[in-house]
């Protein structure tokens, strides 16, 4: 029997240290970490973890929201674990799927997590609509980027000397922001070369 951990943060701006520390305290021998949104189950480390676990293993997570954001996805993941005879433990919700009560509570908490996410999105959309109606909505503000540092890193990346992950770390931005900035930069360069 092995103790396996899974942790997830939505963006590279978030820090998984708290989750990793808790998993270490539980004695997890191997920890899988995704730095992606939990909106779907198309995550490389989640897939790797599901392939890795074996009968008798126990999967530890800090909260069910780290594993999945929708009831369907969560129950699908737990079903895969159950078929492999892998136990499941969530710290925040104190869920242990080896018991009927734990299985029931898992279904309830998964539904609540999905409801909470939908309510947050609904409130956000309502707030934006009100701000737009008042003419005060400006959208998300662009993060300041050191132009010279970006251009130097971009040149190094184009030469194959550094990775995009390294660029993100140096610029303190997410991958999504980096892709956007690269597209903007390349479009600007193309436009200036046509003049």
- Catalytic residue positions, numbered: 10
Sequence-distant (≥ 6) Cβ neighbours of residue 13 within 8 angstroms:
172, 173, 174
Shortest CA distance to 6 belongs to which of 77, 103, 79, 108? 77
C-alpha–C-alpha distance, residues 142 and 55, integer Å:
48
Q: Are 3 and 166 in contact (CB under 8 A)?
A: no
C-alpha–C-alpha distance, residues 44 and 46, integer Å:
6
Angle ∠(163,164,165) on CA atoms, nearest 5: 90
C-alpha–C-alpha distance, residues 36 and 82, integer Å:
24
């Amino acid at each position: 029997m092995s103790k396996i951990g899974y942790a997830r943060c939505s963006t590279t701006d978030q820090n998984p240290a708290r989750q990793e520390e808790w998993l270490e305290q539980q004695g997890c021998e191997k920890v899988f970490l995704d730095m992606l949104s939990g909106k779907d189950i198309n995550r490389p480390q989640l897939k790797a973890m599901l392939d890795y676990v074996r009968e008798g293993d126990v999967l530890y997570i800090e909260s069910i929201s780290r594993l999945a954001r929708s009831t369907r996805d969560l129950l699908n993941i737990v079903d895969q674990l159950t078929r492999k005879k892998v136990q499941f433990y969530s710290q925040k919700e104190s869920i242990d799927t080896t018991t009927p009560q734990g299985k029931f509570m898992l279904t309830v908490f998964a539904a609540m997590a999905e409801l909470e996410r939908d309510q947050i999105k609904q409130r956000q959309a309502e707030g934006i609509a009100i701000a737009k109606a008042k003419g005060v909505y400006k959208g998300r503000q662009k993060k300041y980027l050191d132009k010279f540092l970006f251009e130097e890193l971009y040149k190094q990346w184009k030469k194959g000397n550094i990775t995009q992950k390294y660029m993100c770390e140096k610029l303190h931005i997410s991958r999504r922001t980096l892709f956007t900035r690269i597209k903007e930069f390349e479009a600007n360069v193309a436009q200036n070369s046509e003049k």
